[in-house]
């Protein structure tokens, strides 16, 4: 590992087979102002005229910027891929961000403003939007409120009902601890109080740690370790950015977790006016698969599809990266292109 990379951040140019930079390509880390806050976006594509794909990371306070470029670079041949560190997350974290601005509605406004900016800059009327986990909450609300801006909505590990999901996740962790004979974990888990955990991010993260330990986050534990390494190997993140990521993740979760406890997609978004695709890991116990199936069955949309990833948990975009990219390129992009 070349640790000197951690001294600064950049994104590599996109080059052809001979090593020359592709003249129509874009590979850029940029700061833009959204909702009064400076935020960072990564734009990468082999041709600036390609369709726009905005990816919304999980969290609150997570980031996908150092990972999507590494695991899903094939998308850059078919889209201008935009990774956005949302306010309070990663490169967009700052200690002076007002806590009162950390609301779901503000994130939706930020997302709308970013989409409008991208459409104007690249002279496109609409974009594709893909959300992962927490990013699906922002994404589906933005698409519901501003359907005219989107070709399609792609929900990866879709959040459906937080209260029910936390109950299912905790039960999964408890059963795993009992099977493993881990009395210390079991004793702590039975004392937790989902879904709010009495405001304790530490308790929430312990539950998540146990879900991951017993196979509910990653179907293949080696992927979890690979993701951790990629954060340190990424060109796009410096050591300072990694420190900001850690601080921002804890602060964002502490600030926003309880706001989302009453999230219920079945009641809030029963209809979407754009095609909707749900990409979900069969082994996911963070955003449980049975809730996604229930929402998919209820949802009314011009066109919809639920696509299962049999060898994935909560992160099919990394666990089955090849298939994830093929679905976006060969299924979703072609579906929309061929629509009347």
141 in the same domain as 177? no
135 in the same domain as 205? no
Give the per-residue pLDDT at 173: 96
| Length of the chain in terms of residues written | 340
99 in the same domain as 37? yes
Distance in Å from the first CA to the final CA of the chain? 50
Give the per-residue pLDDT at 3: 58
Kind of pairing between the strands at 52-56 and 150-156 = unpaired
Q: Is the dihedral of CA 276, 44, 108, 200 positive or negative?
A: positive
CATH of residue 261's domain is 3.40.50.1820
Closest CA to 92 of 230, 227, 248, 228: 248
Tens of pLDDT along the chain (340 residues)?
Answer: 555 566 778 999 999 999 999 999 999 999 999 999 999 999 999 999 999 999 999 999 999 998 988 899 999 999 999 999 999 999 999 999 999 999 999 999 999 999 999 999 999 999 999 999 999 999 999 999 999 999 999 999 999 999 999 999 999 999 999 999 999 999 999 999 888 888 788 999 999 999 999 999 998 877 878 888 888 888 899 989 999 999 999 999 999 988 888 999 999 999 999 999 999 999 999 999 999 999 999 999 999 999 999 999 999 999 999 999 999 999 999 988 777 6
Give the per-residue pLDDT at 308: 98
239 in the same domain as 266? yes
230 in the same domain as 125? yes
Give the per-residue pLDDT at 66: 86
Residue indicated by tokens 């308790």:
203
The per-residue b/e assignment along 116-132, b for 16 or more CB within 10 angstroms, e otherwise, is eebeeebebebbbbbbb
Under DSSP, the state recorded for 272 is -
Cβ atoms 48, 80 nearer than 8 A: yes
Give the per-residue pLDDT at 340: 65
Kind of pairing between the strands at 150-156 and 276-281 = parallel
Cβ atoms 14, 46 nearer than 8 A: yes
156 in the same domain as 78? yes
Cβ atoms 45, 58 nearer than 8 A: no
Give the structural domain span for 178: 162-215
102: left (phi over 0), alpha (psi -120 to 50) or beta: beta
193 in the same domain as 88? no
Instruction: Among 199, 215, 231, give the residue marking a domain's end.
Output: 215
140 in the same domain as 107? yes
Distance (Å) of CA 74 to CA 23, 228, 230, 329? 18, 21, 17, 9
Give the per-residue pLDDT at 5: 65
CA–CA separation, 89 and 283 (whole Å): 27
Give the per-residue pLDDT at 231: 84
300 in the same domain as 173? no
Give the per-residue pLDDT at 105: 97
314 in the same domain as 166? no
87 in the same domain as 152? yes
Domain count, the chain: 2
CB atoms within 10 A of CB 3: 9
pTM: 0.95
141 in the same domain as 118? yes
Give the per-residue pLDDT at 120: 98
């Amino acid at each position: 590992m070349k640790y000197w990379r951690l001294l600064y951040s950049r994104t590599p140019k996109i080059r052809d087979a001979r090593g020359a930079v592709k003249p129509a390509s874009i590979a850029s880390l940029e700061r833009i102002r959204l909702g009064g806050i400076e935020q960072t976006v990564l734009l990468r594509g082999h041709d600036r005229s390609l369709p726009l794909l905005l990816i919304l990371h999980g969290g609150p306070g997570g980031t996908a910027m150092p990972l999507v470029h590494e695991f899903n670079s094939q998308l850059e041949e078919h889209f201008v891929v935009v990774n956005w560190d949302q306010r309070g997350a990663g490169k967009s974290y700052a200690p002076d961000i007002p806590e009162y601005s950390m609301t779901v509605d503000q994130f939706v406004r930020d997302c709308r403003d970013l989409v409008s900016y991208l459409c104007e800059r690249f002279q496109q009327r609409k974009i594709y939007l893909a959300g992962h986990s927490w990013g699906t909450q922002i994404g589906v609300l933005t698409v519901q409120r501003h359907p005219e801006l989107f070709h399609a909505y792609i929900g990866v590990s879709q959040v459906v009902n937080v209260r029910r999901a936390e109950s299912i996740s905790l039960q999964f962790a408890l059963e795993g601890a009992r099977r493993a004979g881990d009395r210390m974990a079991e004793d702590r888990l039975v004392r937790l109080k989902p879904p709010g955990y009495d405001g304790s991010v530490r308790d929430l993260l312990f539950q998540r740690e146990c879900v991951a330990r017993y196979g509910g986050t990653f179907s293949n534990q080696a992927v979890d370790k690979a993701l951790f390494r990629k954060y340190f190997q990424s060109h796009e993140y410096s050591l300072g950015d990694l420190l900001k990521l850690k601080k921002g993740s804890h602060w964002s979760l502490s600030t926003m977790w309880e706001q989302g406890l009453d999230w219920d997609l079945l009641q809030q978004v029963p209809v979407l006016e754009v095609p909707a695709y749900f990409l979900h890991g069969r082994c996911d116990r963070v955003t449980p698969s049975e809730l996604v199936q229930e929402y998919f069955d209820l949802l009314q949309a011009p066109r919809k599809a639920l696509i299962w990833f049999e060898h994935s948990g909560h992160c099919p975009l990394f666990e089955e990266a090849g298939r994830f990219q093929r679905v976006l390129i060969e299924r979703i992009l072609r579906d929309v292109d061929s629509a009347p």
